[in-house]
Amino acid sequence: MMTLREKHQQGKFTITVELDPPKSSSAQKVFDQAARLKGKVDAINIADSPMSKMRMSPISLSYLLQHNKDIETIFHLTCRDRNIIGLQSELLGAAALGVNNILTLTGDKPDNGDHPFAQSVFEVDCMGLLNIAKTLNSGKDLAGNDLDEPTNFYIGATGNPGAPDLEIERQKLAAKIKNGAHFVQTQPIYDLEQAKRYIDKMSEFDVPIMLGLIPLKSFKMATYLHEKVPGINLTQEILDRVEKGGKEAGTEIAIETLEQIKKIAAGVHIMPLNDIDTTLHIIDHV
């Protein structure tokens, strides 16, 4: 079977789905979700204590999914919880487990998580983490010491099609690529014209871009994303459709959006908020 990296190299359209690790010592819930997605998606993203809510290690869970369920994964790694020694140690452990796809993130502060008293680290941000993974791939550690064996990470970075200034966003992506990024997964898009402008702006870079997609479940969710989440912009047409049709309209919009994403991007990154039924329905109808 081809890896995600090989599929991107051959220009194949790829589908990834993001799952949250459990707040448990058992991975069974995610095993069950992943089993339903197997054969439908190219890889499963595993978040790193998303929204600063403590969860199972994404590296451990990614290994379990690959080893026990034969499903390729992309583990998220944030700079919130580890200094540069800890980040390098985690990455070497992931490499030893054969978990080689990574999405690099700065991470959320713990303030609004389930451990608001926890201390942040943030010794580096996502740019620094990209450089760490790139350096380990070269066979060195950050101090310039040789590794006995280099890593082989396929390194992902985030993008934001809804950024207010696409030229600044282009500069950010250029810096991320310089620091080691191989592919991009973006914030969810709802304005297709905006997404096309983003893809056109980034076309100078030879990296696959996977546009983000979150199916809308309600008008309340739609207005929250539009008004409260920076970088997410919904058109008035979409807001009106979801206000009238609710989750059914949100699912129809996701199907229509995915059909258009297939025409302009290297892939789609679906963030289903653990709604596997809707995710499968969307994939099966495109």
- Within 143-235, residue ranges assigned H as helices are 166-178, 192-201, 219-228
What average pLDDT does range 261-282 have in this prediction? 96
Q: Would residue 239 count as lying in a domain?
A: no
Nearest-CA neighbor of 104 among 16, 8, 181?
181
Q: Would residue 268 count as lying in a domain?
A: yes
User: What pLDDT score was predicted for residue 52?
Assistant: 96
Q: Would residue 221 count as lying in a domain?
A: no
Q: What CA–CA distance (Å, rounded) separates 166 from 201? A: 7
pLDDT confidence band for 18 (50 / 70 / 90): very high
pLDDT confidence band for 218 (50 / 70 / 90): very high
Nearest-CA neighbor of 274 among 14, 16, 15, 17?
17
Q: Would residue 46 count as lying in a domain?
A: yes
pLDDT in tens, 160-190: 999 999 999 999 999 999 999 999 999 999 9
Contact 268, 211 (CB under 8 A): yes
Q: Would residue 91 count as lying in a domain?
A: yes
pLDDT confidence band for 263 (50 / 70 / 90): very high
Residue 256 CA neighbour count, 13 Å, CB half: 12
Q: Would residue 156 count as lying in a domain?
A: yes
User: What pLDDT score was predicted for residue 257?
Assistant: 97
User: What pLDDT score was predicted for residue 147?
Assistant: 98
Cα→Cα distances 70→1, 19, 37, 53, Å: 10, 16, 12, 27
pLDDT in tens, 39-65: 999 999 999 999 999 999 999 999 999
With a cut of 90, say whether residue 230 has pLDDT above it: no
Q: Would residue 137 count as lying in a domain?
A: yes
Q: Please tell me the total count of domains within the chain.
A: 1
Q: What CA–CA distance (Å, rounded) separates 161 from 199? A: 8
Residues whose CB is less than 8 angstroms from the CB of residue 211 and which lie 6 or more positions away in sequence, other chains included: 161, 186, 189, 195, 199, 261, 264, 265, 267, 268, 269
Domain with 262, as residue range(s), is: 4-215+249-284
Q: Would residue 226 count as lying in a domain?
A: no
* CATH number of the domain residue 117 falls in: 3.20.20.220
pLDDT confidence band for 274 (50 / 70 / 90): confident
